[in-house]
Structure formats: structure tokens, C-alpha cells
Structure 1
Amino acid sequence: MKDLTCRMTHFALVMAFAVSATGSMLVAQTPLRTLLVGVDHRKSISLNGPWHYLVEQPPARELYDEKGNIRDNGYALNTHPNISSGPHNSEYDFSTAPTMKIPGDWNTQDPTLFHFEGVVWFQRDFQFQPTPATRTFFHVGAANYRSVVWVNGKRLCNHEGGFTPYDCDATSLLKPGNNFVVIAVDSTRHQDDIPSVNYDWFNYGGITRDVSLVTVPSEFIDDYDVHLKRGASFSAADANTVSGYVHVEGAGEGRSVTVRIPEANASTTAVTDGNGKAMFEVKVNGLQLWSPGSPKLYKVELQAGTDALTDDIGFRDIRVDGTRILLNGKAIALQGANMHAEAPIRGGRTNTDEDVKNVFSMLHQIHANFVRLAHYPHDERMVRQADREGLMVWSEIPLWQRISFSKQEVYDKAVVMLHEMIRRDRNKAAIIFWSVSNETPNNADRTRFLTALANEARHEDQTRLITSALIGPRVSEDRIMQEDPLMDALDVVGQNQYIGWYEGTAEDADRKTWILPQKPFIMSEFGAEAKFGNHGGPHDRWTEEQQVNVLQHQFAMIRKIPQMRGVTPWVLMDFRSSTRNIPKLQDGYNRKGLFSEKMEKKMSVPLVVKTYTEDPAVKPE
């Protein structure tokens, strides 16, 4: 697809240069799409609900022409055939087509589309009444993987990336009364996509998160960053300044912006510069810092002209000191699990309050204080709930194996996805790590690419730590030495390994000696597959007993690694993967979950609970 630009609010080029070990540079060439931050805290018109859909079998000639360019005729026009009025060249009709629930993936809603990867078209009629001196944006929380939006037969925007939101200015295309929107979603995988053609989770296609219309004044707050001011060191006594910025789209220099935190009796006014950004600082006496034991959130009120927005924001400091991870100046140990954005019980993508409630139920059962949201940004509901409940979060973009790390255009895509992830969630205290990748090959192109990306993340957000999950340590008999040069670019290092499942036996872990740099490490993946209800001996594969045995020896090994500050077994709950095809044992699921996909508790759960509450595998220092 050649036409990937998106007509949105304002554009900004990445200006940060990242220098690799070889001295070469990577600079993002693609304009970054601006998002509306805090959409879930604005008044909006929901377009969730039933949408008509039509399936286009490959080669998707209604969406692409022979050169791969997007077509703006055909299905996009939403015409209706009438036999008596002559020919109807594109033979379709949305008005009589079946409907599908949006948000939702097509795989679990239409049995004929369970394994379908390709183009599905969606259409919905809606009513709208424009308001003078306002702008209205079409908001999509996520659509996997490429999506194109037409409003009233005119192309509005395109977006690439299956797990981050986009907002398109639809003001000029909307009209009073009846309107319609058509969205084409293409889930086809390509080598130069992110993720690429190979990954170990299910390729759910569709409009998988909320859709809405958001109306704002002609000058409006589109982005803001409100955080505890970060100094060279942290002192609780000095944690009394909140700083950041508010960006006002459409405003020039000198526009007044007000930031209030009423509960803390704090208020300040700043003015925008020539780019519409207002930098601010405000003293806050008696500020209660956010932490897992006290997840305090403050109502923060932002106002610029006639636009006003209130968000719930927590304030905390996260940094490293040697091999320690410090939260608000105190060393912490992270205990939790990995999880995919898969809905418990019903299946499909996580995108409802009920889904989030079920996920947090399992996290609470294992006494987690930390969760790795693998391997892509999850629904915003998940992070909001983590903010409220005091669960620390690792969030990452889907750079997972087989990525074309030598290609500039792929790096450009990664930068856009990184910025979309950070921009949406930078005001959530729960997120302590931005992760740039998972299980990538150790080579010069990869290291150059990810070092640049890590530096770009720091340039964008200096209040969080940068991490990645590594594989491939050098093994010499029972000595394991991690020498990946990417570690130089990371604040905290994730280490994936599967001793006892993909290599050796569970008992082999007892003899391993890990030789690691003096940095904080997290054992970011380990575990074994077990079908719920399948029992046997501790060495019988696919049994709950073997899963327990593997985890027991893993925890014992981890306790002996002094740099370990976090532990996240793979995975919280069984999840679908098209590569898992052993009948009766997997049936299309990765079975390493502590819980089944139906939230059934496996025998490993009591072991994890005992480890996290009585005999921790990791300590703060």
C-alpha cells in the first residue's frame, strides 16, 4: 500500500538523532500523526454497536487497484443497487448485509471468518448535528492492521498499526442529519509490517476498540503531559512540584492555559509558544505519591479558552540506582505475570469493562503488583484500571522477531507506533516501563535500530524506564552469560528463557549460574505448558504437575541471581495462537497460562501465590 498518509490535526517530524555504536544515525522520515489525548475523558458520541460488514476475498480489488493504491470508489461510496435503474458495477449492498458488534474482532463473531486474514468492510449510518466554531474528530481506538476511513463517500484518513488509536478531523465531511461511515480493515500480514509475518499470538482482525465522534472547540487541547518534576535524584521532601506541558491545537503564541489540581489546592497559568505548547510548573504541598499500596489519583483540570478537560492522574518517581529499581525513592521488587489482550471466557480481543474486571481478578488472585502487557499496547481500559488499583505496568510495541531491521521505512513505522503508545498513555502513573521489543535477533542492524528507538523513547518521555525482553545468552556448560549489546541502551533488562520446557529438564535450572551486567533484570518469560485438568507426574509433559515442577525450579534459580528485581511467568492465561496445533492438548492455544482461557485455576497458582507472599523469588535489593 503506497498511500499511508493520514489527514489529522497537526504533524511533527522526529528531531531526535540516535547514534549507534558504529556512529551511524537513524532519523524517522515519516510525519508523526497527532492523537487526541484523554479521549475517554471527553464527551463524545459513541459509534459502538452493530455495523454492517462485507467480506472481500483476496486479492481485495475493491480496496486496492492493480498498483496497490487505495481505491476511493466501489464499496467506499456506499451506493445501493436498484435493478430498475440500470447497471451497478460494484455488486454489493451494505444495507442488506449482516451486522457485527463493534468493537470486536471478526474471527470470534463470524465462524466463517475464524482463520480469515484479509479485508473486511464495515459500514454504519449515524445522526449528527454540527455545532458552530467546533471541530469533530472520528476516533478509532484500534483496528488491525491497516484501516481506511471514508465519511459520506469521501476518504477521511488511513492508519497502519493494529494496537494504537487514531483521530481524524471529519469536520468538513460531516453534515446535519443523516451521515454514514465506511471503514475497510485489512489484517493481511507482510514482511515489513510491525509485527511481521511470524508471531505467536492470534491475528484478530477488525475494529477491535471503541469508535466515537469527539467534538472540540476550534482551538482545543489535543495533548498534555502532567507529571512529578524529575530531578537528578529523588527526595520525598522535594517531591512537591508538578510540571509538564499543554498543547493547544489551532492556537498561536500567547494563548492562556490553566492547570488546576483542586484537591491539592494547586493552580497555575501558562501561555503557549509559537507552536501552541505551554510549559508549566506548579508547587503542590502535601502531594500524596502514587504507589501499589496507595494508588492515589488527582483530578487535574486543564483549560484553554473555551476548551476544558479533566483527567485522573497519579504522581510518582521511577528510576534505577545500580541494580535497584526505585519507586518514589524506595527499592521495589516486581512480581506479576505476562498477559495478552485476550478476553477471558468469551474469547477474542479484550475491549470491555467486564473483560478488564476478569483479568484483574486473576492478577489479584496471584497477588501481582506488576503486569507485562505483551506484546503490544493493550486497550486503554487496562491501563486506567491499573492506575486505579495500583498495578505497575510494562507496555511495549510489537517488534517481535523477523522484523526488517535494516529498512528505514520499518524504523519509521516503529517510531510512529512508539509515539502513539507514549502519547496515549504518558499520563498514566501505572506505566513504569516502555519496551521497544521482544525476542529480537542479536545483530548489528537490530542493535542500531533498537538503540535509536530506545533513545527516541527517552527523548519523548524522560519520566519512565526503557526496557526490552532479550533472548540468546551465551551458554557454556552450566554458565549462562548475557552479552547482548542492546543492554547498553536499556535501563532495565528483561530476560526470556524456558529451561525445563524448550530446553533441558526442570532440574537443569538448579545448576545454572547466571553472569549478568550490573543492571536491574527481570526474568520476563519462563514456564511450561499444561492443559487444565490434565494430570500426571512432575515430568509428564502437558500436565499441571509438570508446570508446577518447572516453576518451582525456576523460582529457585531466580532467587540465586542477585540482579533480579522482577519476575513474570509466561503467561497469566491461556491464549489463542495459530502456531499451537497439537490436538486435545493445545487446540490452537498456548497452554502456558496459570489460568485456562475460562479462568480455571491451574495447580501452579498456589505455588505462585506462596512465592509472591511468603518466599519471594526476587527482592528489592
Structure 2
Amino acid sequence: MKKLAVFALLLLPFMGWAQDVFIQHANGREFTSLNGKWKYVLDPYEQGQIGFMPVYENVKQKDKSDRIEYSFDDAQSLWVPGAWDAQKPELAYYEGSIWYRKTFDKSDLSNNKRYFVYVGAANYKSTVTLNGKVVGTHEGGFTPFAFEITDLIQEKDNFLIIGVNNSRLNDGIPSKVTDWFNHGGITRDVLLVEVPKTFVSNYFLSLDKNSLNAKSKKINGKLQLNGASFPQKARIEIPELKVNEEINVEADGGCNFSIDVKNMELWSPGNPKLYEVSISAGNDKVTDQIGFRTIETEGKKILLNGEQIFLRGISLHDENPLRADRANSVDDAKLVLGWAKELGCNFVRLAHYPHQENILREADKMGILLWEELPLYWGIDWSNPEVLENAKRQYSEVINRDYNRASSIIWSIANETTPSDSRNAFLGAVAEHVRSLDNTRLLSAACKKDQPGDGNTAKYYTINDPLMKYLDVVSFNEYLGWYGGLPDECREKVISSDEDKPIIVSEFGGGALQGFHADSLTRWSEEFQEYLYHESINMFDKIDGLAGMTPWILVDFMSPLRQLPNVQDGWNRKGLISEKGYKKKAFFELQKYYKKKEAEYK
């Protein structure tokens, strides 16, 4: 029983220990992909053991008298990356623990290298083990994590076992109820990353907005080395800009620097210019593709590179609808971003959690601006300090991952949360944390507005959420004509804010079953959705300070909350495109408006 007690102690980190080292741009390092088929064992009681045997020990029968009560060798397989619910009908609504096993050899081990297991994301709590030893745990279903395995990896017969638990939690982020599918499993890439003994673990480069109008632009940066000892110098190279700068490394392995550059092309949707940037220190070198731009506000305007821009946006979930699975590839990213470009978008809201890194990198290439957020959403336990620390950790992880992506311009700290003293204090602390890590982007949130009068009968709406004082951009969700009233009631509404800040309509819309046609007052018809978009757009276009919108949503997406037979069937039907890839009539209504706005801002 002593072994069981030790195992229980080892599982204590399952409550949310974070990684010790963040590895930025893991795909840009030397790595071996561990994607593919993994064996799996169900753990429905979430004990981490089967038949009193720890699952991560990978027990095997050595002779005929040995007792074993599970077997990875004889188990079925799941593809990684991929949600388990998308692969096995019997796991469609399974919520609990599954332990995955991958075996591999590494014949070229070097004493001069360090080795890490890197996981792009696994939903929601993960325990990572190698060769029978627990190396770390992670909480958060959408952010990357890495654990060092240098002292455990061997040349042959390694077994990497990762336990993943997707149970919904009252003190989780998100909490228990969401309007999207709780895809379980290892949903993004798993890599075996190898680096020198001392390596560049993280780096941050951005354009100094104070140099925007100067002939010589300034790049501000910082980097962090990881290792037992550090070189005195590091080097930054941007060949196209003729940058080859040596910088001093501090005693803690960090350094801050500024570099003057001439003839820099700024990144923008019309000119998504990326530069090859290399950072080297000691025996390590990492190369990335980085664009440089500024984003700021001036009164009720959003300025990109000092010029006013209207954000022609759409909201998006991180799914490939065609296969009803979490998105996890470059092709998945190109599919949805291609649809957004066809719609006329220069902006996409990545809702309601961090999306796969591929979509950020493709948006950099395609010239699409992005809003990113954490699932601080319905039902969060605002008074729990551990939940606040969890939120800060998850934000740190996504900011570290995406800081160098020019496409990412807005961090959003909440969606549809009701004001209260505990909520306001919680989100105020989150806002402060985000700004402490990144002051180069704008801060927003989908705020509450007042609902005066009886239902939706009052003419004037004011966005008055106390959260607005922390934000650069005021955003709100409005479903008049769908959740209350009919589309023509939009004609009487006036929406305003007392803040001298830009406004984004972060959600609006309604459901339609693609291919169902009727008159414009028949609910669920394409004509109703088209009519609703027409009236809503006319209402929002009159807002003083309107700087953009991200209607809900680009594509129909999976949700257990949506069960109307023969209409929803487990899908939220507010998409402008069906899960089969067919466009609805409202797609073209919004496209027409965006063509008009694009002409206005040329």
C-alpha cells in the first residue's frame, strides 16, 4: 500500500502545477514528432490506477503467474493530435481520464543536449510521465506546456504516458457550463524537443510605437536563456534589415535591448510583411518569422501603424467542422481563414479560448488581425484565489506563445460575465497581469450593457459595465431579434457608451439551418438570419465610435446545449457557413457591408 500512497502524492500536482520552462516556437527547434497513433487505457474513476497498479508504470506480465489488470500493448489506439470524442463513437460524451502511451527510441542521445516533451494542448488536466516517472502536470485545455526529461530518456524502449482528464469543474477555466463541445484528449502536437545545455527559451520583439514616424525605427526586445550557466553575449540578426547586433546577457540569463533599423516595412493586412529573425546565444540558435507593427487607440479610433482602421471581423471556434474535431493543423487554419478572407474580413475573434498556434502563424502570413481570449466565461468562481492564479498562469502561457505574432492585436479578459465586487476585482487583477506581460496590444472584453425598461422595449442602451475602466476598447454582445424581439426592433434602438474609447460589437446574430428556406419571419430559415443581419448591421453602424464588429459566428459549431431535433442536432446554427462548408444567405449580407466599409477606409 506504500506505493499507492506515493502515487496519490504524485497526483497532487494534477491540481495545477505549471511548467518550469517555457519553450517558445517549439516547431522552430530541433524536434521529433510524437504524433500518430497512441495506445490508450480508460480511467473512468480517475484514480490513475487500474487493479491497484499505477497506469503510468506500464506494467507487463513477465511470467504466467504475474497479475496484470490492464495492458497498453493490447489496447486500442487514438490519433494524436485529435479529440477522443471525434474518433470513437463510444467516447462521444465521455468525460473523465484517459491515459495515452507512446513508445519510441532515441538512438542519438547527446550529453551536450537537453530533452523536453512539448504538448501543444491537452484538455483539461494533464499528467506527463516518462519511463514510469511523473515529470509534471498541467492545468488548462488550450495552452502549451513542456517538461524536461533529460535525466529519464534512454536510447531504446522509452514509454511516454500522458493522462488527460477533461472533467468539467466548478473551479476550472472554463467552468462547468459552456456553449461549445468539451473535446477531450491530446488535441495538439506532441514533440520531443532537443536543445543545447543552455538555450534561448523565450524572446519578445516589438516595434517601439514612439519611433513609428521616425526615419529610423526602433525594435524593443528581451530574451531569456535557460541553463546552469550563461554566455556573456547573445546575437540578434535580421539579414533583410542588415541587423547583426551583439547584446549583453545579464547574470540571470535575461536581457533587454533596443535596435535601430532603417527601411523597415510595417506589417499590415494589406502588406503582411514578415522578416526572418535569428537569435543566438552560446551553442543555441532559433529563427522565427516576425512582423512589426503598432496598435493603439486615439479617442474612439483604433490606429494600426498610426492609421485609423475599421475591424471587419467574424468570430470563430477552434474546430474543423468538416470532421467535427478540434483544429490542429496548418490546413485547418487555412480552411477557416480562407473563408474569413472571402467574407471580406481583416479581423477574426478567436473565441472563447486560445486557438492552435498554426492559426496565428497563418494569420501573420495572410494579413488577418486577431482578437485572443481566455475562457473567463459563464460561472467562473470569482472569489477563489486559486482560480485567479490559474487564470494568470494560462494568460502567461498564451502571451508567451503569441507575443511575436504581428496579427494578434487584442487580449480579451472576459466574455458575458455579470458585474459584482468579486468579479470586478478578479478581472481587474487579470487586466493588471496581462498589461505587466504585454503593453504592446490592446485590452478588451465582451462587456454587459444595461437593459432598461420591460425586456427590450426601451429605446436607449448604454454600455456601462464597470470593467470598461480597465480596457482600451469597449466591446459588447447584442442579440436583439434573436434572444428577445424581432429583427425590425433594431430600427428603434440607440446604443452608446460614455467612455471616450473605440467600440467593437463582439457578438450578434442568430441561427439558421443551411438549406431551409422560408419567409424572413420564419425562425431557423436562411431568410430570417439574413433579415436579422440586415437590421442589426444598420443599428450598429450608427454607433458613435464603432471601430469594428465580430458577428457570431463564421461556422456552425458543436454544442451539447443545442438539441432541437432536425434543426440543431447538437450544433449551434449561428454560423454563416454550415458544418458541411455551405454558405448561408447572411454570409453575403455581411460580405456586402464589409465591401462598403473597406471602400470607406481606403
TM-score under structure 1 length normalisation? 0.92
Alpha-carbon displacement from aligned partner over 1:390-420 (angstroms, at most 9, x marks no partner):
0000011111011000110000000000000
Match in the other structure for 1:25: none
AA aligned opposite 2:182: N
Inter-partner Cα distance in structure 1 for 2:27 and 2:473: 31
1:407-435 CA deviation, whole Å, 9 max, x = no partner?
Answer: 10000000000000100000000000011
The 3-state SS of whatever aligns with 1:412 is helix
Task: Tell me, yes or no, if the aligned pair for 2:40 and 2:78 is still in contact at 8 Å.
Answer: yes
2:117–2:147 contact (8 Å) kept in structure 1: yes
Q: Is the 8 A contact 1:564 1:619 kept in 2?
A: no
For 1:441 and 1:447, how far apart are their aligned partners in 2?
9
In the alignment, the residues of structure 1 paired with residue 49 and residue 386 of structure 2 have an alpha-carbon distance, to the nearest angstrom, of: 23
Match of 2:585 in 1: 603
Instruction: Give yes or no for the alignment of 1:159 onto 2:141.
Output: no
1:33–1:524 distance in 2 versus 1, CA, 3 Å: farther
The count of corresponding residues between Structure 1 and Structure 2 is: 588
Which residue of structure 2 aligns with residue 50 of structure 1?
37
Corresponding residue for 1:13?
none
| Change beyond 3 A, Cα 1:114–1:589 | same
Aligned equivalents of 1:301, 1:405: Cα separation in 2? 42
Matched, 1:548 2:525: no
| Aligned partner (choices 22, 38, 41) of residue 25 of structure 2 | 38
**Could you tell me which amino acid in structure 2 is paired with residue 156 of structure 1?**
V
CA deviation vs aligned residue, 1:80-126 (integer Å, no higher than 9, x gap): 235613323xx100011111110000001001000111111100110
CA displacement at 1:344 relative to structure 2: 2.9
1:448 and 2:425 correspond: yes
Give the CA deviation at 1:353: 2.1
Amino acid at match of 1:125: T
Q: Secondary structure at the match of 1:240?
A: strand
Match of 1:489 among 458, 470, 481: 470
The residue aligned with 1:105 is 83
Q: 1:427: which partner in 2?
A: 404
Shift in CA distance, 341/157, structure 1 to aligned 2, threshold 3 Å: same
Q: Structure 2: which 5+ residue stretches go unaligned?
A: 1-7
Query: Residue type of the partner of 1:506?
Result: P
Per the alignment, residue 577 of structure 1 pairs with 559
- For residue 36 of structure 1, report the CA deviation from its aligned partner: 0.1
Q: How far did residue 615 of structure 1 move?
A: 5.3
Matched residue SS, 1:177? coil
Corresponding residue for residue 10 of structure 1: none
How far did 1:238 drift? 4.9
State how far apart, in whole Å, the 1-side matches of 2:49 and 2:70 are. 13
Q: Distance in 1 between matches of 2:105 and 2:144?
A: 23
Alignment match, 1:340: 317
Matches of residues 122-137 of structure 1 in structure 2 within 5 Å? 122-128=100-106, 129-137=108-116
Does the Cα contact within 8 Å between 1:258 and 1:303 map onto a contact in 2? yes
Partner of 1:193: 172
Shift of 1:606: 1.2
Identity of aligned residues (%): 39
1:510–1:264 distance in 2 versus 1, CA, 3 Å: same
Q: TM-score, normalised by structure 2?
A: 0.94
**Aligned residues: CA RMSD:** 2.0
Q: Name which of structure 1's ranges 160-169 and 359-368 shifts more when overlaid on structure 2.
A: 359-368
- What displacement does 1:253 show? 6.3
The 1:382–1:320 alpha-carbon spacing in structure 2 relative to 1, beyond 3 Å, is same
Secondary structure of 1:224 counterpart: strand
Distance 1:130 1:451, change over 3 A: same
Q: Distance in 2 between matches of 1:269 and 1:235?
A: 24
CA–CA separation in structure 1 for the residues paired with 2:229 and 2:271: 40
Which amino acid letter does the alignment assign opposite residue 600 of structure 1? Answer: Y
The offset of 1:146, in angstroms, is 0.3
- Given that 2:177 and 2:379 are in contact with CA atoms closer than 8 Å, whether structure 1 keeps it comes out as yes
Q: Tell me the residue number matched to 1:81.
A: 61
Residue matched to 2:4: none
**Offset from partner CA, 1:177-230 (integer Å, 9 cap, x none):** 221111110000110000000110000000000001000000000000011123
| Paired residues of 1:524 and 1:568 also in contact (CA < 8 A) | yes
Q: Deviations over 1:591-615 (max 9, x none)?
A: 0000001111111111111100025
Cα distance in 2 for residues equivalent to 1:619 and 1:5: 54
Look up the SS of the partner of 2:482 in the other structure.
coil
Residue 268 of structure 1: aligned partner: 245
Q: Which amino acid aligns with 1:518?
A: D
> Partners of 1:379 and 1:185 in 2: how far apart?
18
What is the alpha-carbon distance in structure 2 between the residues aligned to residue 315 and residue 615 of structure 1?
25
Q: How does 1:266-305 map to 2 (within 5 A)?
A: 266-305=243-282
The partner residue of 1:114 within 92, 97, 104 is: 92
Going from structure 1 to structure 2, the CA distance change for 1:63 and 1:410 (only over 3 Å counts) comes to farther
Structure 2 distance, partners of 1:620, 1:559, is 14
1:205 is aligned to: 184
CA contact (8 A) 1:251 1:276 kept: no
Query: Could you say which residue in structure 1 is the equivalent of 2:154?
Result: 175
Q: For residues 320 and 62 of structure 1, what CA distance do their matches in structure 2 show?
A: 50
